[in-house]
A and B are shown apart, each in its own frame.
Chain A
Amino acid sequence: NAGVMQNPRHLVRRRGQEARLRCSPMKGHSHVYWYRQLPEEGLKFMVYLQKENIIDESGMPKERFSAEFPKEGPSILRIQQVVRGDSAAYFCASSSGGDEKLFFGSGTQLSVL
């Protein structure tokens, strides 16, 4: 039973480049959440998506960040024109809906040079 799959595990980008982070939820899960973890800080909610719908993006910066969860394929978190402050671990989680029990992937560590 495959868990939540994220790739890449590590991503290095130079300032101004684009970063694309992918997340495939657990089999049978249609709810996807993205969280960001900065050093010495707790995980911060970014966005909640269901297939083809953004349900809540209140935790996501209004500029440069976008997320999608298409009908087919993984969920994508896209960061345009990255800056050093975007360096963090980005975690994706999924659920079957109906309760708050989330299953997390292993994360993507984004480093901006």
Chain B
Amino acid sequence: EDQVTQSPEALRLQEGESSSLNCSYTVSGLRGLFWYRQDPGKGPEFLFTLYSAGEEKEKERLKATLTKKESFLHITAPKPEDSATYLCAVTSGDYKLSFGAGTTVTVRA
């Protein structure tokens, strides 16, 4: 069974204070690793898909990287609007995603 562990559970940052979120995974044949953002009371919003070790993707202040055992989501110079829960998920098949419990990021102005 695919397993995803995210750390830390919660992260409090000052505006402009860069940091990283970790996603460790165990999967039999990784087909894709996904990062989603979830705001309170809403569904997850797709951010990135990574397929192979060494791959990197960027979007505004976010950058996702992938190794054979883990992925990092780097937040550079965060703003209060970056406050959200960030979810990591993996798939070893065609459609079934296994999600981590998420990291809740709070950015203070």
Contacts and interface: CB of A to CB of B under 8 A. Distances in A.
Contact of A100 (B32, B43, B101): B32
A82 interface: no
Interface string B12-43: 00000000000000000001101010000111
A56 B98 CA distance: 15
Nearest to B43: A104
Contacts of B97: 35, 43, 45, 100, 102
Given A101-B46, A102-B97, 19 more contacts: A35-B97, A41-B101, A42-B98, A43-B44, A45-B96, A45-B97, A48-B96, A91-B43, A95-B95, A99-B49, A100-B31, A100-B32, A100-B91, A103-B46, A104-B43, A105-B43, A106-B41, A106-B42, A107-B43
Listed from nearest, the 5 A-B pairs whose CB atoms lie closest are A104-B43, A42-B99, A43-B99, A42-B101, A104-B44
28 contacts: A6-B43, A31-B95, A33-B95, A35-B99, A42-B4, A42-B98, A42-B99, A42-B100, A42-B101, A42-B102, A43-B87, A43-B89, A43-B99, A44-B99, A45-B97, A55-B95, A56-B95, A59-B96, A91-B44, A93-B43, A100-B34, A100-B95, A101-B49, A102-B97, A104-B36, A104-B45, A106-B43, A107-B42
